[in-house]
Structure 1
Amino acid sequence: MSSLQDTLYNWLTIKVVADVRVDDTAAQDTVNLFYEVLTEEHGISEITVKKDEQMYEVSYVLQGEQKRTRFPVELIDVMLEQMEAEPEKFINYPKEEENDEPTN
């Protein structure tokens, strides 16, 4: 299991991408996976995010206690910026429908 800090960092980084790329199925699936790890493995709830010019602040409840952690904007936004700079490297493939037969 990853540390809570590492999982928050990974979740927030992909959440920023998923919020902008709402049709990106990989980003949506990944943000949901990290959210499940945060809530089920780490036991946190009531996760909120605030952003100012320099920092992201993630607030959450852990074992009944309000907690918060901060991450520099440039550290979190780097993946989104890379995707925007080189979109040809980050193609979104549509999710296969359950009734669709795989193509070989």
Structure 2
Amino acid sequence: MRSVQDVLYNWLTIKVVCDARPDDTAAQETKSHFDEILASEYKVSHIEVTKDDVMYFITYELENESKKTRFPRELIEIMLNQINHEPEKYANYPIEE
């Protein structure tokens, strides 16, 4: 069973990719999927993200209660670093209309 913490970790990892690659349609679709899971399954809202040199900090509301969590930047940025290291493996395929 996945926890709110697990979903927030995955959401933040893909959000970092989306922020760095706004034209990456696969990343945008994946982030939307996690947005939906957080909102519908976990009732998470008002997510705010900050970071320092070492950590990402997330504040959010869960059923009208303010919560906080944090994740090491090293773990969150691993996907973006992999994409940047081997961009040929992560080509963007635009949505056909």
* TM-score band w.r.t. shorter chain: over 0.9
Instruction: Point out the structure with max Rg over C-alpha.
Output: 1
Residue of structure 1 equivalent to 2:81: 81
d(CA) in 2 for partners of 1:63, 1:14: 24
- Per the TM alignment, residue 12 of structure 1 is displaced from its structure 2 partner at its CA by 0.2
Identify unmatched segments of 5+ residues in structure 2.
Answer: none
Q: TM-score, normalised by structure 2?
A: 0.97
- Per the TM alignment, residue 2 of structure 1 is displaced from its structure 2 partner at its CA by 2.2
| Matched residue SS, 2:67 | strand
d(CA) in 1 for partners of 2:57, 2:77: 13
Amino acid corresponding to residue 9 of structure 1 in structure 2? Y
Amino acid corresponding to residue 61 of structure 2 in structure 1? V
Q: TM-score, normalised by structure 1?
A: 0.91
d(CA) in 2 for partners of 1:94, 1:72: 31
Counterparts of 1:40-55 in structure 2, within 5 Å, are 40-55=40-55
Residue of structure 1 equivalent to 2:16: 16
* Cα RMSD after superposing both structures: 0.8
Residue of structure 1 equivalent to 2:3: 3
Residue of structure 2 equivalent to 1:27: 27
- Higher RCO structure, 1 or 2 (CA under 8 Å, sep 6+): 2
- Per the TM alignment, residue 13 of structure 1 is displaced from its structure 2 partner at its CA by 0.2
Identity among equivalent positions (%) equals 59
- Per the TM alignment, residue 3 of structure 1 is displaced from its structure 2 partner at its CA by 1.1
d(CA) in 2 for partners of 1:8, 1:48: 11
